Amino acid sequence: MIGSAFNQLWQSTGLFGFLGFADGFGWGNLVMIIIGFVLLYLAIKKGFEPLLLVPIGFGCILANIPLGYIAGIDPSTGDVGFIKQLFDMGIATGLFPILIFMGVGAMTDFGPLIANPKTLFLGAAAQLGIFAALIGALALSFIPGINFSLFDAASIGIIGGADGPTAIYVTSRLAPNLLGPIAVAAYSYMALVPIIQPPIMRLLTTKEERMIKMNQLRPVSKLEKILFPLIVLTTCAILLPSATPLIGSLMFGNLAKECGVVNRLSDTMQNALMNIVTIFLGLSVGSKMEAQYFLNLNTLGILALGMVAFSLGTAAGVLIAKLMNKLDPKHPVNPLIGSAGVSAVPMAARVASKVGQESDPQNFLLMHAMGPNVAGVIGSAVAAGVLLAVVPFMAVL
């Protein structure tokens, strides 16, 4: 009897699971827990986007604790783990991305884009990585052990926009089975912008180009800022209805900020709502880093393609900025701000400014970089709408 009780106690420990005696658990879980601690280290010690990496890293640790079933269902009792409930409620349904976009809209100043409309092209250019990764995913399907459908490839491609909410929204509609690795890849690359982008920016520009000083932006009137979200929403509704859930929530948040008569709503979107959803979303994303689903060829392929897509998007923005300088030398654009065309707001803009100040400490590019940065948010949402509209149609052909 004592031996039976001891055996039952032993089988309920995490060590029993780590050693591979429990179904679905093993040393892979220990590896993923270590990865979770690495993410926490990068967030806490290195300061790499702690708002994202702290909940993602902690969610990864919680999801890989053997026999905890925090991110799953306990087979013995049928109890649903609390993180799985968050995932099913907010990510599988696509609700969290919509709420995040609302908060981003309330926090974003579209003034730099309105003042310098040509930076819209830089935001559009940075979306090149999305379609390059889509083609790359289809090409990888020829490798034994990797199999991506057109729906999978489209969901993987959206990682190139460096926009976690958009990636989650598109994947929840086209390839729900890939939500975990795609969400992890998208948010990981968003958080690692300060590491990934600078080497690409330095490689593609000269010191003289990085020292280009841009003219001060013109003042933007309140009327322009109020009309902008309404015009963008109307245009999107007419031309690309499939993008309106994301564009609509983004523009609603921005209108609440700019109109000046609903400050309580705007403040809630920017702070309380944004913080709550970020916590839930980060834990949910981290929970999908379970060893049994994460450590496989498909996931590694997604991570590799996401890196390629993000790098191509960064490079495309820089190169288009250089092309613009060739076409209009009288109004030079610092090519570094082209890298901010990816949707990681405001991280990419801060990185562009920081790299510029390495060559000239008196060169302040932040506000200029915010133009393509917010254009990238709109661009990734438009790209998502295109994929949602076109991919199902192409799959039928």
For the stretch 149-169, pLDDT in tens is 889 888 888 887 777 888 889
Question: What average pLDDT does range 366-379 have in this prediction?
Answer: 91
359-383 exposure pattern, b = at least 16 Cβ within 10 A, e = fewer: beeebebbbbbbbbbbbbbbbbbbb
Q: pTM score, two decimals?
A: 0.86
Q: Supply the range of the domain harboring residue 55.
A: 1-70
**Whether residue 24 has pLDDT greater than 60:** no
Look at residues 44, 70, 96 and tell me which one is the last residue of a structural domain: 70
Contact 258, 222 (CB under 8 A): yes
Please indicate, yes or no, if residue 92 is contained in any of the structural domains. Answer: yes
**Whether residue 312 has pLDDT greater than 70:** yes
pLDDT of residue 336: 93
pLDDT of residue 21: 47
Look at residues 12, 43, 70 and tell me which one is the last residue of a structural domain: 70
Look at residues 70, 92, 120 and tell me which one is the last residue of a structural domain: 70
What does the H/E/C string look like for the chain? CHHHHHHHHHHCCHHHHHCCCCCCCCHHHHHHHHHHHHHHHHHHCCCCCHHHHHHHHHHHHHHCCCCCCCCCECCCCCCECHHHHHHHHHHCCCHHHHHHHHHHHHHCCCHHHHHCHHHHHHHHHCCHHHHHHHHHHHHHCCCCCCCCCHHHHHHHHHHHHCCHHHHHHHHHHHCHHHHHHHHHHHHHHHHCHHHHHHHHHHHHCCHHHHCCCCCCCCCCCHHHHHHHHHHHHHHHHHHCHHHHHHHHHHHHHHHHHHHCCCHHHHHHHHHHHHHHHHHHHHHHHHHCCCHHHHCCHHHHHHHHHHHHHHHHHHHHHHHHHHHHHHHCCCCCCCHHHHHHHCCCCCHHHHHHHHHHHHHCCCCCCHHHHHHHHHHHHHHHHHHHHHHHHHHHHHHHC
Q: Is residue 44 located within the same domain as residue 134?
A: no
Q: Is residue 126 located within the same domain as residue 40?
A: no
Please indicate, yes or no, if residue 363 is contained in any of the structural domains. Answer: yes
Please state, in angstroms and as integers, the Cα–Cα distance from residue 261 to each residue in 16, 138, 255, 257, 356, following that order: 59, 49, 10, 9, 38
pLDDT of residue 50: 86
Q: Is residue 323 located within the same domain as residue 243?
A: yes
**What's the rounded Cα separation, in Å, for the pair 311 and 100?**
24
**Whether residue 397 has pLDDT greater than 90:** no
**Whether residue 19 has pLDDT greater than 70:** no
Please indicate, yes or no, if residue 78 is contained in any of the structural domains. Answer: no
19-52 exposure pattern, b = at least 16 Cβ within 10 A, e = fewer: eeebebbbebbbebbebbeebbebbeeeebbbeb
Instruction: Using the Cα atoms of residue 195, residue 200, residue 202 and residue 203 in order, give the sign of their dihedral.
Output: positive
**Whether residue 191 has pLDDT greater than 80:** no
Q: Is residue 93 located within the same domain as residue 147?
A: yes
pLDDT of residue 264: 92
Q: Is residue 19 located within the same domain as residue 143?
A: no
**Whether residue 27 has pLDDT greater than 80:** no
Contact 384, 231 (CB under 8 A): no
Q: Is residue 165 located within the same domain as residue 263?
A: yes
Please indicate, yes or no, if residue 212 is contained in any of the structural domains. Answer: yes
Quick one: which of 191, 158, 152 has its CA closest to 285?
191
Q: Is residue 91 located within the same domain as residue 135?
A: yes
Q: Is residue 145 located within the same domain as residue 179?
A: yes
**Whether residue 325 has pLDDT greater than 80:** yes
**Whether residue 47 has pLDDT greater than 90:** no
Q: Is residue 311 located within the same domain as residue 332?
A: yes
Give how many domains the chain has, as a whole number: 2
Question: What average pLDDT does range 26-53 have in this prediction?
Answer: 85
Please indicate, yes or no, if residue 162 is contained in any of the structural domains. Answer: yes
**What's the rounded Cα separation, in Å, for the pair 38 and 324?**
41
Please indicate, yes or no, if residue 250 is contained in any of the structural domains. Answer: yes
Please give the mean pLDDT across all residues of the chain.
Answer: 86
**Whether residue 377 has pLDDT greater than 70:** yes
Q: Is residue 196 located within the same domain as residue 61?
A: no
Burial of 97 (0-12, 13-18, 19+ CB in 10 A): buried
pLDDT of residue 67: 73
337-349 exposure pattern, b = at least 16 Cβ within 10 A, e = fewer: bbbbbbbbbbbbb
What confidence tens digit (pLDDT) does each residue in 236-268 have? 999 999 999 999 999 999 999 999 898 999 999
Please indicate, yes or no, if residue 266 is contained in any of the structural domains. Answer: yes
* Two tokens, residue 257: 């900020």
Q: Is residue 152 located within the same domain as residue 264?
A: yes
Q: Is residue 28 located within the same domain as residue 174?
A: no
pLDDT of residue 209: 93
Please indicate, yes or no, if residue 58 is contained in any of the structural domains. Answer: yes
Question: What average pLDDT does range 315-331 have in this prediction?
Answer: 90
